[in-house]
Amino acid sequence: MTEITPHFTLQEMTTTDYEEFKTSIVKIANKNKEKLEKLCWHLEAIRAIIGSPLAITSAIRSKELNSAIKGSKTSQHLVVEAADFIPTKKSAIMAFSEIVKSGYPFGQLILEKRGIGYLIHFGVGEKRQTLFSKEAGKYEPYDVSKVGA
């Protein structure tokens, strides 16, 4: 396990269900060490805000992987600026609301429906755009005040 920050490893930041793309993803990670470390420090901050470990489901993506999973062509995953995760000790909806209310900076925070559950997409930036996604590639504005969490 190669630790990047105290709670995040290279292995989880390069995780994918598509083994055929793993090598290219690890290459991208090695070429972008500084950006990867920054992204992991953001995830450390989010982990602290919500008080729950994060299970990373997808972080760095190669172009090929992104097409295979129908990701956005301008996805921040392609430039080592985004991670998808599921909080392991808290509902994703609750965690989403807490991140928004904390005032922590993000480019995009997306609540994505996946199967029976949800995951959170965090993208580096300052815009603080909040979105909801019912299926891959489809997004609508998401008003966190309506959640009531």
**Interacting residue ranges for Zn ion, rule: CB under 5 A:** 84, 121
What residue type is assigned to position 18 of the chain? Answer: Y
Shortest separation between residue 110's beta carbon and Zn ion, angstroms? 7
How many other C-beta atoms can be found within 10 angstroms of the C-beta atom of residue 100?
19
Residue linked to tokens 């997409």? 121
Compare residues 1 and 137 and give the one whose CB is closer to Zn ion.
137
Compare residues 1 and 123 and give the one whose CB is closer to Zn ion.
123
Shortest separation between residue 82's beta carbon and Zn ion, angstroms? 5
Shortest separation between residue 89's beta carbon and Zn ion, angstroms? 21
Picking from 94, 84, 93, 89, the residue whose alpha carbon sits closest to that of residue 120 is 84
Both tokens assigned to 96: 């989403």
Compare residues 1 and 131 and give the one whose CB is closer to Zn ion.
131
Both tokens assigned to 10: 């290279």
| Beta-ladder partners of 111 | 120, 132
What residue type is assigned to position 146 of the chain? Answer: K
Compare residues 1 and 141 and give the one whose CB is closer to Zn ion.
141
Shortest separation between residue 133's beta carbon and Zn ion, angstroms? 9
